[in-house]
C-alpha cells in the first residue's frame, strides 16, 4: 500500500462514516464508536479552521447521535440532507418520495431470507444481507423488480446491502454543497470513503482540485484511517 499523501495546505476533510471512520458491524445499529475518535475529530476540526465534514448514507441525526460535537457540516442520506453547521436547519434536497407499496415489497423480500434485514430510509430503503450472504442475488433481483422502469429511484450496491435510493442527490452534490460555504469554501477538499457511493464524492473532490482517497487502497481499513487522523491531530 502506498503511504497516504500529505494533507494539502488549507485542506478540508470530508469523511464517510461506516467503513471509513468506524468499523462495519453485523447490523447498522450495532456499530461501536471508539472512545478516542471524537476527541481526534474535534482536534482536527480545530486544526482545519472548522473545515471537517462527515458525508454518510445515514440520516444526519443518526450521525450526530453517533459522533456528537465533532464535524462542522454533516451530509446524510447520500446527499439528500445537509446540516451546514451545528444548530442550523436541515437543508433538504427536494427528492422524490418512495412510491406507495415499495417499502412493504422490500420488507416482504427480506422476510423470505432469515438473517436478512430491511431498513427503511427517508425516501428509500436498504436490503441488508450481511447475515444472509446467500440471499445476495435474490435480493438484488427483488430490488430491481420493485424499482422496475421507474426513473425516480435506482438500485445501488453497498457493503452486503442493496439500496433503493431516489435520484437527484448523491455524495458529489453533498461535497459541492459543503465546499461552497465557509469554513470550507476556498479550501482543498480531501474526501475519504470506502464504498461504491463514495465514488461520487471522490469525483467531486477531484473536480474541485482536491483528493479522493479510497480507504482500502490507502489506509487498509477504518482502523488505518483512525490512526492516520490521530497522527494529523497531533
Ligand atoms: Mg462507507
| pLDDT at residue 216 tops 80 | yes
46, burial (CB in 10 Å: exposed 0-12, middle 13-18, buried 19+): exposed
Q: Give the CATH number, domain containing residue 161.
A: 3.30.70
Mark whether 74 and 176 lie in a shared domain.
yes
Distance (angstroms) between ligand 1 centre and the Cα of 142 equals: 23
Last residue of a domain, one of 119, 147, 166: 166
Please give the pLDDT value at position 63: 97
- Of 140, 166, 192, which residue sits at a domain end? 166
DSSP bridge pairs for 54: 15, 74
DSSP string of 110-179, one letter each residue:
HHTSTT-EEEE-SS-EEEE-TT-GGGHHHHHHHHHHHHTT-SSEEEEEETTEEEEEETT--HHHHHHHHH
Q: What is the mean pLDDT of residues 56-74?
A: 96
Inform me whether the pLDDT recorded for 112 exceeds 90.
Answer: yes
110 occurs within a structural domain: yes
Query: pTM of the prediction?
Result: 0.88
Mean pLDDT of the chain: 96
Q: Averaged over 73-102, what is the pLDDT?
A: 95
> Given this model, what pLDDT does residue 122 score?
83
Q: How far apart are CA 198 and CA 225, in angstroms?
A: 15
Residues labelled catalytic: 16
Q: End-to-end CA distance of the chain, in Å?
A: 23
79 CA from centroid of ligand 1 (Å): 13
Spacing, Cα 225 to ligand 1 middle (Å): 12
The answer to whether residues 208 and 222 belong to one domain is yes
Q: Which residue has the cell 444481507?
A: 129
Å from CA of 34 to ligand 1 middle: 16
CA of 26 to the centre of ligand 1 (A): 14
| pLDDT tens digits for range 114-148 | 999 999 988 899 999 999 999 999 999 999 999 99
Do 19 and 69 belong to one domain?
yes
Looking at the fold, whether 177 and 218 belong to one and the same domain comes out as yes
Residue 28 has pLDDT above 90, yes or no: no
Query: Do 173 and 145 share a domain, yes or no?
Result: no
Q: How confident is the model at residue 2 (pLDDT cuts 50, 70, 90)?
A: confident
Q: How many domains does the chain have?
A: 2
Q: Are residues 176 and 87 in the same domain?
A: yes
**In the prediction, which pLDDT does 1 show?**
77
- pLDDT for 153 equals 96
Residues 112, 80 within the same domain: no
Give the CATH number, domain containing residue 72.
3.40.50.1000
Q: Final residue of a domain: which of 166, 195, 219?
A: 166
> What percent of the chain lies above the pLDDT cut of 90?
91
The reply to whether 4 falls in a domain is: no
Per the structure, the complete domain to which residue 76 belongs is given by 11-94+169-233
Amino acid at each position: 500500500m502506498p503511504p497516504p499523501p500529505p494533507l494539502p495546505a488549507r485542506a478540508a476533510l470530508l469523511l464517510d462514516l461506516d467503513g471509513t471512520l468506524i468499523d462495519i458491524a453485523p447490523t447498522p445499529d450495532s456499530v461501536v464508536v471508539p472512545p478516542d475518535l471524537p476527541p481526534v475529530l474535534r482536534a482536527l476540526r480545530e486544526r482545519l479552521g472548522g473545515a471537517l465534514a462527515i458525508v454518510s448514507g445515514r440520516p444526519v441525526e443518526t450521525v450526530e447521535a453517533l459522533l456528537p460535537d465533532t464535524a462542522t457540516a454533516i451530509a446524510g442520506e447520500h446527499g439528500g440532507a445537509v446540516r451546514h453547521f451545528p444548530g442550523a436547519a436541515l437543508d433538504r434536497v427536494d427528492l422524490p418520495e418512495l412510491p406507495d407499496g415499495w417499502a412493504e415489497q422490500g420488507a416482504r423480500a427480506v422476510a423470505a431470507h432469515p438473517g436478512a434485514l430491511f431498513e427503511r430510509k427517508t425516501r428509500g430503503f436498504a436490503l441488508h444481507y450481511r447475515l444472509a450472504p446467500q440471499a445476495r442475488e435474490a435480493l438484488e433481483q427483488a430490488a430491481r423488480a420493485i424499482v422496475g422502469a421507474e426513473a425516480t429511484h435506482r438500485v445501488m450496491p453497498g457493503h452486503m446491502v442493496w439500496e433503493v435510493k431516489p435520484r437527484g442527490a448523491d455524495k458529489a452534490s453533498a461535497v459541492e454543497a459543503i465546499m461552497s460555504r465557509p469554513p470550507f469554501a476556498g479550501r482543498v477538499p480531501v474526501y475519504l470513503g470506502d464504498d461504491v457511493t463514495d465514488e461520487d464524492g471522490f469525483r467531486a473532490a477531484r473536480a474541485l482540485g482536491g483528493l479522493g482517497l479510497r480507504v482500502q487502497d490507502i489506509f487498509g481499513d477504518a482502523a488505518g484511517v483512525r490512526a492516520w487522523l490521530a497522527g494529523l491531530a497531533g
